[in-house]
Amino acid sequence: MSTKGISTPLSRILPSRKLPRVLLILIGSLLFPLPSATAEELGGVLWQYPTGGRIVGPPVITDESTVIAVSEDRYLYSLSAEGTLLWRSDLGFRPAFGAALGPDGSFYVVSRIGTLKALNPRGEELWRADILGPPAGPPHPTTDGTVVIRNLDGVVSAWSHNGFLRWRKNSERPSASGDLMVSEDGIILLPGASGHLSAWDLFGREQWRFLTAGDPGTPFPALEETLGGTSYGTAFLLDRNGKMLWNLSWQEPVEVLYSAEGAKYLCTGASTLRCVSPEGTELWQSSSGAGVSAAAGYGNGLLVLGERGVELYSAQGEKTTIISHDFGPGFWAARPSALVVHGGENWHITCLNPALFLFPGDSWNWKVGKAGIPSSADYSNSTDYRYLLSVAQGQDENAQKKILEEFRDLYQLGPPKTIPPYAEEILRLIASGAVTRPVYAGKHLLNDFPLRRIEALELLACYGNLNTPTHLLSLLALEWDSHVTAKIIETLGRLGCDGDGRVAKGILKALRRTPRFDVVVPQASMDALEAILRYNGRLTSEDAAEACLYVYRGDYPRELRLQASGILMKMEELPGPF
């Protein structure tokens, strides 16, 4: 939003020398008054968008400054930074919580009765699943694409980004005042009704358990530590192993707001803000007139967003009221793109004027949690892992076949048992086999088992995560068997994600080095590009168009060429870079 005044078009009416300029200026000033539309005069709102129902859960602001909000009218809305509707998706159900944004741009929404739905970045349904009961909180996507969610009975489910159930485990019933959170390094924190805060890894294995002094609220996980509070009036800080570093007590329920390196921010009661040092000393407290619905780190201080306004607190506790307005109950979201958005019970999505948040000398410097890489699961000492590793790297085809059967059974026999955390790694090793670790006896390749590689690749579509395509692309560049190559491409398609276009690039290279008489690889390529297009809502790479043109112009069966042209036409319909 420009804060400059709007100037009159004087230059367009001054060229004549016949009329005195002073007179012209006088006339002009009467005809064209000089309004200056500063941000303050326009008010605090950038735009408002009415939906057909209450906004459910905090809106999401994407990297492109798109605002995503879910309404009780059963729609998921995507609005531009200027407040225009980009698209909306009919969820088909009343949502229980707000949408969650995955690291690959997918959205996840859950219904009141427990239907989890995944949508691509254009709002088209990718898959849906049953979490076996009403949800206790929204879905939580993790950095490798796994989506974790808990229902009111305490059943925790984890789904891959492409819709495969990873595992499902019973935890204790959720606490009344808290929802699970997932830390940057992939630890799932589960507040329980018994007063325990449990930590699980991304494979559903409990790491530690901490008994709080009461009903634990939603924790604030940060790297290396966890900040938590309870409705009984205590706050605590734990290290990464769940050992308590300190705890504090007050007479009112404690809600965790934000944890920064230099300070921890809590809310006690309805509106008392407290700042605590990393060592557990209370630094200051202040009563918020705005109410406290949400908070975000701002510079070295804290932005507090409430039902009655927005306030800024410096690190020393000095308060500045930015807006005093009755927003009413609702949810807040804020991003470094200078968007602050409220989704309210008044059925509106409201975006505040970013000029309100620009202070002299300040830069727009939000602290937003960064997506990190999950710490590698510690299973190197596992006997089972070492055995599987030796088989995957070895030359015993039958042993590999048995492992693959076992992994397949894990999926096919009713609700999956806990999948070993090293399953994806073992499958990758079997899939790469002789390609990356050839074992020769003279000229004879001892460990070339293409059928096992194909089987492993098939299973990788279920067991893979957002990091798997990177490994598969390396494999694609080296694989010599066209059927295995086709399977790699098929698996890449089933994994779906290709936000940066590397998969399309790899597919194009594979096409170009495949003999023209081979139809298997081109067919798999077109199938994969269709799947990727569906998953991402678009194809982001020129290489994808190039691959389609390669097939379309080639001497391939008519149906295949029609499929290629269909993808091209679809790409042309969609806005954005291919």
The residue (of 50 and 557) whose beta carbon lies closer to another protein is 50
Quickly list DSSP for 339-351: EEEEEETTSEEEE
The residue (of 51 and 230) whose beta carbon lies closer to another protein is 51
Helix (H) or strand (E) holding 506: helix 502-513
Region 388-407 residues binding another protein, contact defined as CB under 8 A: none
The residue (of 326 and 555) whose beta carbon lies closer to another protein is 326
Contact map string, positions 11 to 50, toward another protein, x by CB under 8 A: -----------------------------x-xxxx-xxxx
Region 279-338 residues binding another protein, contact defined as CB under 8 A: 289, 308-309, 321-326
The residue (of 350 and 523) whose beta carbon lies closer to another protein is 350
Nearest distance from residue 38's CB to another protein, in Å? 12
**Dihedral sign (CA 195, 200, 206, 209):** negative
Q: Which stretch binds another protein (CB under 8 A): 69-77, 208-216, 536-544, 562-570?
A: 69-77
Cα 479 to Cα 433: distance, rounded to the nearest angstrom: 10
Contact between residue 514 and residue 550 where contact means Cβ atoms under 8 Å apart:
no
Size of the site for another protein (CB under 8 A): 30
Partner residues linked to 140 by β-bridges: 148
Quickly list DSSP for 391-429: HHTSS-HHHHHHHHHHHHHHHHSSSPPPPPTTHHHHHHH
Q: Could you tell me the maximum CA-CA distance found in the chain, to the nearest angstrom?
A: 101
Nearest distance from residue 127's CB to another protein, in Å? 23
* Angle made by CA atoms 273, 278, 283, in degrees to the nearest 5: 40
Burial class (CB in 10 A: 0-12, 13-18, 19+), 575: exposed
φ/ψ of 385, rounded to 5, equals -60, -45
- Residue 53 as a binder of another protein (CB under 8 A): the answer is yes
Contact between residue 195 and residue 212 where contact means Cβ atoms under 8 Å apart:
yes
- Residue 51 as a binder of another protein (CB under 8 A): the answer is yes
- Residue 72 as a binder of another protein (CB under 8 A): the answer is yes
Tokens standing for residue 452: 């096992």
- Residue 360 as a binder of another protein (CB under 8 A): the answer is no
Nearest distance from residue 502's CB to another protein, in Å? 41
The residue (of 348 and 561) whose beta carbon lies closer to another protein is 348
Partner residues linked to 125 by β-bridges: 119
The residue (of 83 and 336) whose beta carbon lies closer to another protein is 83
Nearest distance from residue 213's CB to another protein, in Å? 27
The residue (of 352 and 459) whose beta carbon lies closer to another protein is 352
- Residue 252 as a binder of another protein (CB under 8 A): the answer is no
Nearest distance from residue 348's CB to another protein, in Å? 7
Cα 488 to Cα 454: distance, rounded to the nearest angstrom: 8
- Residue 87 as a binder of another protein (CB under 8 A): the answer is no
Region 94-123 residues binding another protein, contact defined as CB under 8 A: 94, 112
Residues that bind another protein (CB under 8 A): 40, 42-45, 47-54, 72-74, 94, 112, 289, 308-309, 321-326, 347-348, 352
